[in-house]
Amino acid sequence: MDFVGDWTPDAKRQYGYKPRDAKLLTNPRAQEKICRVWKQLPQTIHMCFVRTKDAYKKMNAGEVSETWVQGNLGLDIQADEDAITVLYTGNTDKTMTGWMLAHRMAHAFSRTSEFTRFTNEVLLAMQEILEDVYGISNKLYNSRGDRGDNSYSYKSEFEPQYTALSRAMGTMRSARDKSLIRPQEFFYEIVAQYVTQGKERFADYSLKNGSLKFNKLPSVLTWGRKAWGKPINSRYAHNAEAREEIDAQLESTLPDTLEYYLDEMFTSFLGRIFVM
Protein backbone atom coordinates (compact mmCIF):
# COMPACT_ATOMS: atom_id res chain seq x y z
CA MET A 1 0.00 0.00 0.00
CA ASP A 2 1.18 3.51 -0.85
CA PHE A 3 -0.24 6.81 0.39
CA VAL A 4 -0.09 10.20 -1.30
CA GLY A 5 -1.21 13.42 0.40
CA ASP A 6 -2.09 14.29 3.99
CA TRP A 7 -3.32 11.14 5.74
CA THR A 8 -3.47 12.39 9.29
CA PRO A 9 -6.96 11.72 10.73
CA ASP A 10 -7.37 15.38 11.71
CA ALA A 11 -6.31 16.80 8.34
CA LYS A 12 -7.97 20.15 7.63
CA ARG A 13 -9.10 19.07 4.18
CA GLN A 14 -10.78 15.70 3.71
CA TYR A 15 -10.41 15.58 -0.07
CA GLY A 16 -12.84 12.73 -0.57
CA TYR A 17 -11.97 10.68 2.52
CA LYS A 18 -13.65 10.78 5.90
CA PRO A 19 -11.49 10.84 9.06
CA ARG A 20 -12.52 7.23 9.75
CA ASP A 21 -11.00 6.20 6.40
CA ALA A 22 -7.71 7.90 7.19
CA LYS A 23 -7.59 6.32 10.62
CA LEU A 24 -8.43 2.85 9.32
CA LEU A 25 -6.24 2.75 6.23
CA THR A 26 -3.14 4.02 8.03
CA ASN A 27 -3.55 1.59 10.92
CA PRO A 28 -0.89 -1.18 10.62
CA ARG A 29 -3.26 -3.84 11.99
CA ALA A 30 -5.97 -2.84 9.51
CA GLN A 31 -3.45 -2.90 6.66
CA GLU A 32 -2.33 -6.37 7.71
CA LYS A 33 -5.91 -7.58 7.75
CA ILE A 34 -6.63 -6.16 4.29
CA CYS A 35 -3.53 -7.82 2.87
CA ARG A 36 -4.46 -11.09 4.57
CA VAL A 37 -7.94 -11.29 3.05
CA TRP A 38 -6.53 -10.41 -0.40
CA LYS A 39 -3.62 -12.85 -0.29
CA GLN A 40 -5.40 -15.70 -2.11
CA LEU A 41 -5.55 -13.65 -5.31
CA PRO A 42 -2.75 -14.98 -7.58
CA GLN A 43 -2.22 -11.60 -9.24
CA THR A 44 -0.47 -8.75 -7.43
CA ILE A 45 -2.46 -5.59 -6.73
CA HIS A 46 -0.59 -2.33 -6.15
CA MET A 47 -2.96 -0.17 -4.12
CA CYS A 48 -2.24 3.56 -3.91
CA PHE A 49 -4.46 5.84 -1.84
CA VAL A 50 -4.41 9.44 -3.04
CA ARG A 51 -5.74 12.27 -0.87
CA THR A 52 -5.20 15.54 -2.73
CA LYS A 53 -7.24 18.47 -3.99
CA ASP A 54 -7.09 17.14 -7.57
CA ALA A 55 -7.64 13.44 -6.98
CA TYR A 56 -11.06 13.36 -5.35
CA LYS A 57 -12.53 15.17 -8.38
CA LYS A 58 -11.53 12.23 -10.58
CA MET A 59 -13.18 9.36 -8.70
CA ASN A 60 -14.18 6.29 -10.68
CA ALA A 61 -12.34 7.29 -13.85
CA GLY A 62 -11.75 3.63 -14.69
CA GLU A 63 -8.77 2.56 -16.77
CA VAL A 64 -6.27 5.35 -17.40
CA SER A 65 -2.79 5.84 -18.82
CA GLU A 66 0.39 7.07 -17.14
CA THR A 67 -0.04 10.31 -19.09
CA TRP A 68 -3.57 10.72 -17.71
CA VAL A 69 -2.31 10.24 -14.15
CA GLN A 70 0.37 12.87 -14.68
CA GLY A 71 -1.99 15.36 -16.32
CA ASN A 72 -5.00 14.92 -14.01
CA LEU A 73 -3.48 13.96 -10.67
CA GLY A 74 -0.04 15.49 -11.01
CA LEU A 75 1.58 12.18 -10.06
CA ASP A 76 4.39 10.28 -11.72
CA ILE A 77 3.07 6.75 -11.36
CA GLN A 78 4.35 4.10 -13.73
CA ALA A 79 2.42 0.96 -14.60
CA ASP A 80 3.97 -2.23 -13.24
CA GLU A 81 3.84 -5.01 -15.82
CA ASP A 82 3.73 -7.59 -13.02
CA ALA A 83 0.89 -5.97 -11.07
CA ILE A 84 -2.47 -4.26 -11.38
CA THR A 85 -2.21 -0.66 -10.22
CA VAL A 86 -5.34 0.68 -8.53
CA LEU A 87 -5.49 4.32 -7.41
CA TYR A 88 -8.17 5.06 -4.81
CA THR A 89 -8.97 8.77 -4.99
CA GLY A 90 -11.78 9.05 -2.45
CA ASN A 91 -14.62 7.30 -0.70
CA THR A 92 -18.18 8.51 -0.26
CA ASP A 93 -19.60 5.12 0.65
CA LYS A 94 -19.09 2.53 3.37
CA THR A 95 -15.98 2.00 5.49
CA MET A 96 -13.02 0.90 3.37
CA THR A 97 -12.60 -2.66 4.60
CA GLY A 98 -10.85 -5.31 2.51
CA TRP A 99 -14.21 -6.35 1.07
CA MET A 100 -15.25 -2.80 0.22
CA LEU A 101 -11.89 -2.05 -1.40
CA ALA A 102 -12.42 -5.07 -3.67
CA HIS A 103 -15.99 -3.96 -4.42
CA ARG A 104 -14.82 -0.46 -5.32
CA MET A 105 -12.02 -1.87 -7.45
CA ALA A 106 -14.67 -3.75 -9.46
CA HIS A 107 -16.34 -0.41 -10.17
CA ALA A 108 -13.08 0.78 -11.72
CA PHE A 109 -13.00 -2.34 -13.91
CA SER A 110 -16.62 -2.08 -15.02
CA ARG A 111 -16.12 -0.34 -18.37
CA THR A 112 -13.61 -2.87 -19.72
CA SER A 113 -14.44 -5.59 -22.23
CA GLU A 114 -13.05 -8.20 -19.82
CA PHE A 115 -15.52 -7.19 -17.12
CA THR A 116 -18.34 -7.27 -19.66
CA ARG A 117 -17.51 -10.87 -20.59
CA PHE A 118 -17.80 -11.79 -16.92
CA THR A 119 -21.14 -9.99 -16.43
CA ASN A 120 -22.49 -11.56 -19.61
CA GLU A 121 -22.02 -15.00 -18.03
CA VAL A 122 -23.82 -13.92 -14.86
CA LEU A 123 -26.73 -12.42 -16.78
CA LEU A 124 -27.12 -15.44 -19.06
CA ALA A 125 -27.33 -17.70 -16.01
CA MET A 126 -29.88 -15.41 -14.34
CA GLN A 127 -31.99 -15.15 -17.47
CA GLU A 128 -32.15 -18.95 -17.68
CA ILE A 129 -33.17 -19.24 -14.03
CA LEU A 130 -35.95 -16.67 -14.29
CA GLU A 131 -37.36 -18.27 -17.42
CA ASP A 132 -36.90 -21.99 -16.77
CA VAL A 133 -37.54 -22.12 -13.02
CA TYR A 134 -39.93 -19.24 -12.33
CA GLY A 135 -41.60 -18.89 -15.72
CA ILE A 136 -40.64 -15.24 -16.08
CA SER A 137 -40.11 -14.88 -19.81
CA ASN A 138 -37.48 -12.26 -20.62
CA LYS A 139 -34.87 -11.85 -23.31
CA LEU A 140 -31.49 -10.23 -22.93
CA TYR A 141 -30.38 -7.81 -25.62
CA ASN A 142 -27.02 -6.55 -26.81
CA SER A 143 -26.77 -2.99 -25.49
CA ARG A 144 -23.93 -2.27 -27.93
CA GLY A 145 -25.96 -3.21 -30.97
CA ASP A 146 -23.57 -4.02 -33.80
CA ARG A 147 -20.62 -2.26 -32.14
CA GLY A 148 -17.92 -4.67 -30.98
CA ASP A 149 -18.41 -7.53 -28.54
CA ASN A 150 -21.74 -8.45 -26.97
CA SER A 151 -22.73 -6.56 -23.84
CA TYR A 152 -25.89 -8.16 -22.54
CA SER A 153 -28.54 -6.31 -20.59
CA TYR A 154 -32.16 -6.79 -19.58
CA LYS A 155 -35.15 -4.56 -20.23
CA SER A 156 -35.70 -2.07 -17.43
CA GLU A 157 -39.08 -3.55 -16.47
CA PHE A 158 -37.32 -6.75 -15.37
CA GLU A 159 -34.88 -5.05 -12.97
CA PRO A 160 -36.99 -5.92 -9.87
CA GLN A 161 -36.92 -9.62 -10.80
CA TYR A 162 -33.17 -9.61 -11.48
CA THR A 163 -32.57 -7.77 -8.20
CA ALA A 164 -34.70 -10.29 -6.31
CA LEU A 165 -32.77 -13.16 -7.89
CA SER A 166 -29.46 -11.48 -7.00
CA ARG A 167 -30.52 -11.41 -3.36
CA ALA A 168 -31.70 -15.02 -3.50
CA MET A 169 -28.55 -16.37 -5.17
CA GLY A 170 -25.97 -14.31 -3.30
CA THR A 171 -24.34 -15.57 -0.12
CA MET A 172 -22.67 -12.25 0.77
CA ARG A 173 -23.97 -9.97 3.51
CA SER A 174 -25.54 -7.45 1.13
CA ALA A 175 -27.70 -10.22 -0.33
CA ARG A 176 -28.68 -11.57 3.07
CA ASP A 177 -29.70 -8.19 4.48
CA LYS A 178 -31.42 -7.17 1.22
CA SER A 179 -29.24 -4.10 0.73
CA LEU A 180 -28.45 -5.09 -2.86
CA ILE A 181 -30.42 -2.47 -4.74
CA ARG A 182 -29.67 -3.48 -8.33
CA PRO A 183 -28.07 -6.39 -10.23
CA GLN A 184 -25.01 -4.31 -11.15
CA GLU A 185 -24.07 -4.18 -7.47
CA PHE A 186 -24.33 -7.98 -7.41
CA PHE A 187 -21.61 -8.14 -10.07
CA TYR A 188 -19.28 -6.01 -7.95
CA GLU A 189 -20.07 -8.10 -4.88
CA ILE A 190 -19.19 -11.30 -6.74
CA VAL A 191 -15.80 -9.79 -7.56
CA ALA A 192 -15.33 -8.84 -3.90
CA GLN A 193 -16.18 -12.38 -2.84
CA TYR A 194 -13.73 -13.78 -5.37
CA VAL A 195 -10.92 -11.52 -4.14
CA THR A 196 -11.45 -11.95 -0.41
CA GLN A 197 -12.91 -15.41 0.11
CA GLY A 198 -10.45 -17.69 -1.70
CA LYS A 199 -9.71 -20.87 0.28
CA GLU A 200 -6.34 -21.80 -1.10
CA ARG A 201 -3.62 -20.28 -3.23
CA PHE A 202 -2.53 -23.04 -5.57
CA ALA A 203 1.13 -23.26 -6.51
CA ASP A 204 0.22 -23.70 -10.17
CA TYR A 205 -2.12 -20.67 -10.11
CA SER A 206 -5.15 -22.84 -10.65
CA LEU A 207 -8.07 -20.91 -12.07
CA LYS A 208 -10.45 -22.13 -9.35
CA ASN A 209 -9.92 -21.08 -5.75
CA GLY A 210 -13.27 -22.05 -4.25
CA SER A 211 -14.21 -18.49 -3.42
CA LEU A 212 -17.61 -18.18 -5.08
CA LYS A 213 -20.67 -19.63 -3.39
CA PHE A 214 -24.31 -19.37 -4.40
CA ASN A 215 -27.49 -20.35 -2.57
CA LYS A 216 -29.97 -22.91 -3.76
CA LEU A 217 -32.99 -21.33 -5.37
CA PRO A 218 -36.00 -20.49 -3.18
CA SER A 219 -39.37 -22.10 -3.82
CA VAL A 220 -40.86 -18.61 -4.13
CA LEU A 221 -39.16 -15.55 -5.65
CA THR A 222 -40.54 -12.29 -4.24
CA TRP A 223 -40.02 -8.65 -5.14
CA GLY A 224 -41.61 -5.24 -4.80
CA ARG A 225 -42.38 -3.03 -1.82
CA LYS A 226 -44.10 -4.72 1.06
CA ALA A 227 -47.79 -4.14 1.75
CA TRP A 228 -49.05 -5.26 5.16
CA GLY A 229 -45.78 -7.09 5.71
CA LYS A 230 -45.91 -9.05 2.47
CA PRO A 231 -44.11 -8.47 -0.88
CA ILE A 232 -46.33 -7.21 -3.66
CA ASN A 233 -45.10 -9.70 -6.26
CA SER A 234 -44.11 -13.34 -6.10
CA ARG A 235 -43.56 -16.24 -8.44
CA TYR A 236 -43.38 -19.90 -7.47
CA ALA A 237 -40.78 -22.25 -8.89
CA HIS A 238 -43.04 -24.04 -11.33
CA ASN A 239 -40.49 -26.51 -12.73
CA ALA A 240 -39.05 -28.78 -10.03
CA GLU A 241 -36.79 -30.62 -12.46
CA ALA A 242 -35.26 -27.40 -13.80
CA ARG A 243 -34.83 -26.06 -10.27
CA GLU A 244 -32.98 -29.20 -9.17
CA GLU A 245 -30.74 -29.11 -12.23
CA ILE A 246 -29.88 -25.42 -11.80
CA ASP A 247 -29.26 -25.86 -8.06
CA ALA A 248 -26.55 -28.34 -9.04
CA GLN A 249 -25.11 -25.81 -11.49
CA LEU A 250 -25.10 -23.12 -8.80
CA GLU A 251 -23.10 -25.41 -6.54
CA SER A 252 -20.22 -26.07 -8.92
CA THR A 253 -20.65 -25.26 -12.61
CA LEU A 254 -21.43 -21.55 -12.35
CA PRO A 255 -18.81 -20.80 -9.65
CA ASP A 256 -16.16 -22.64 -11.69
CA THR A 257 -17.14 -20.78 -14.87
CA LEU A 258 -17.12 -17.36 -13.21
CA GLU A 259 -13.83 -18.01 -11.43
CA TYR A 260 -12.34 -18.89 -14.83
CA TYR A 261 -13.51 -15.58 -16.31
CA LEU A 262 -12.38 -13.61 -13.27
CA ASP A 263 -8.91 -15.15 -13.25
CA GLU A 264 -8.64 -14.40 -16.96
CA MET A 265 -9.79 -10.83 -16.31
CA PHE A 266 -7.34 -10.16 -13.49
CA THR A 267 -4.48 -11.63 -15.51
CA SER A 268 -5.30 -9.39 -18.47
CA PHE A 269 -5.21 -6.33 -16.16
CA LEU A 270 -1.55 -6.84 -15.25
CA GLY A 271 0.47 -3.81 -16.38
CA ARG A 272 -2.61 -1.56 -16.44
CA ILE A 273 -3.73 1.36 -14.23
CA PHE A 274 -7.24 1.92 -12.85
CA VAL A 275 -8.66 4.84 -10.90
CA MET A 276 -11.44 4.38 -8.38
Looking at the chain, the whole-number percentage of residues with pLDDT higher than 70 is: 91
The values of phi and psi at residue 22, to 5°, are -60, -40
How is the chain split into domains, by residue range? 2-111+270-275, 113-267
Q: What is the mean pLDDT of residues 240-247?
A: 94
Mean local confidence (pLDDT), 149-177: 93
- Per-residue pLDDT tens over the stretch 102-128: 999 999 999 999 999 999 999 999 999
Cα–Cα separations (whole angstroms), residue 110 to 27, 53, 239: 29, 25, 34
Q: What's the pLDDT score for residue 224?
A: 81
Distance CA 100, CA 69 (A): 23
Which H helix or E strand runs over 85?
strand 83-88
> How far is it, in rounded angstroms, from Cα 237 to Cα 218?
8
What type of residue is 172? Answer: M
The pLDDT assigned to 228 comes to: 66
pLDDT tens, residue by residue, 66-82: 999 999 999 999 999 99
pLDDT of residue 19: 85
Per-residue pLDDT at 238 exceeds 70: yes
Q: How many CA atoms lie within 13 A of 155 on its CB side?
A: 6
> For all residues of the chain together, what is the average pLDDT?
89
Give me the pLDDT at residue 143, please. Answer: 77
Q: Mean pLDDT throughout 235-243?
A: 90
Task: Look at residue 235 in the predicted model and tell me its pLDDT.
Answer: 81
Secondary structure element (H or E) that encloses residue 65, with its range = none
CA dihedral over 110, 115, 117, 118, signed as positive or negative: negative
| pLDDT per position as a tens digit, 177-187 | 999 999 999 99
Q: What is the dihedral of CA 88, 89, 91, 96, to 10 degrees?
A: 30
